[in-house]
Amino acid sequence: MAKKKTVTKKENLPALTEAGLNSSALAAHANYDLAQFEGVKLDVNENKELFQNDILIPKLHLIQAMSELRKQKKADEGDFVDSLTGEIISPDGEELKFVVLKTFKRWHTFKLVNEGTKTKKEFISSEIMVLGKNENLAYQETVEGEQIVRRQVISAYVLTEKDVLNVLDKPYIIDFAGASKYAGRKMISDINTLGKNSLPSFVGFFKLTAHEENFEDGSAYVKNVAFGGYLPKEIMPFLVNCYKNLETIENQIEIDDSDVIESTASKKEDEDVTKKVATTDAGI
């Protein structure tokens, strides 16, 4: 009978240290000599076709009164948090600098549900807007006997200032809808100006903040965006690489819309955004 081999623990190996997947942790713990990994396949990166819709990119959620993290006392209203980890990225609406890799538009679709004398929205789906396919969907219609309303959402893949400075390719998604739609339009207008000068969006950075506004059915936090300035030439090769990496996985990304599902602050239907920029739908 063959003798069973045993593996002996090396006494000089340190204990495993818990750390997050963020810029500071990578700098402190992941400073490996990359040459030793020559010939090692990068698993998911080299098998993208096997992981369709399995890549999750966190969204920068703006915490509202109805947010689950606030109810659990893990975040406060006005905080910007990582939707996947709950990490507070910017507390109490404080300025958060970010770089836009790419913008896109989406439709959020809701079903209107009557509860007594009140009408509530129930989130149904989200879909990316594609020219020639679905850019002209109705804002309101009846589908199989149910009232459906839609709203346009401006979205962007972004990198935070901290991650850019630490050369960490970790994109987030930011949404601009409802009363925050105006902030998104300001961002799009500034990116358009850069484009007219043959410059991509990521040559500059933006400043994201939030403030509380009062509406007919309560208060909610609303996003603000302002152009901040230009990035140094030295960081451009890294940002170009981030942009190209994003393009290779864009069709596999699953967007976390839990903030929209949680939100019940507004009970009114969205109006056509071509007629009204800011709606009372701030809570979604």
Q: Give 78-120 pLDDT, tens digit per residue.
A: 999 999 889 999 998 899 999 999 999 999 999 998 888 888 8
Residue, of 168 and 1, whose pLDDT is higher: 168
Instruction: Give the single-character DSSP code of 179.
Output: G
Evaluate whether 280 touches 216 at the Cβ level (below 8 Å): yes
Amino acid at residue number 43: D
pLDDT confidence tier of residue 2, bands split at 50, 70 and 90: low
Amino acid at residue number 221: Y
**In which region does residue 173 sit, left (phi positive, over 0), alpha (psi from -120 to 50) or beta (all else)?**
beta
pLDDT for residue 109: 93
pTM: 0.78
Tell how strand 146-160 and strand 118-128 pair up: unpaired
Q: How far is CA 140 from the centre of its chain?
A: 26
**214 C-beta neighbours (distance < 10 Å), count:** 9
Q: How far is CA 159 from the centre of its chain?
A: 10
DSSP 86-137: --EEEGGG--EEEEEEEEEEEEEEEEEEEETTEEEEEEEEEEE--TTTTTT-
CA distance 219 to 199: 38
227's tokens = 């152009």
pLDDT confidence tier of residue 280, bands split at 50, 70 and 90: very low
**63 C-beta neighbours (distance < 10 Å), count:** 25
Evaluate whether 239 touches 110 at the Cβ level (below 8 Å): no
Which neighbouring-strand residues pair with 122? 111
265's tokens = 């602050």
Which phi and psi angles does 160 have, rounded to 5°? Answer: -75, 155
pLDDT confidence tier of residue 266, bands split at 50, 70 and 90: very low
CA distance 263 to 270: 14
Is residue 151 classed exposed, middle or buried when 0-12, 13-18 and 19+ CB atoms within 10 A define those classes? buried
The string of pLDDT tens digits covering residues 185-212 is: 999 999 999 999 999 999 999 999 999 9
Which phi and psi angles does 43 have, rounded to 5°? Answer: 45, -110
pLDDT average, residue stretch 145-168:
94
From edge to edge, which strands make up the β-sheet containing 88-90?
A: 60-62, 80-82, 88-90
Tell how strand 146-160 and strand 172-176 pair up: antiparallel
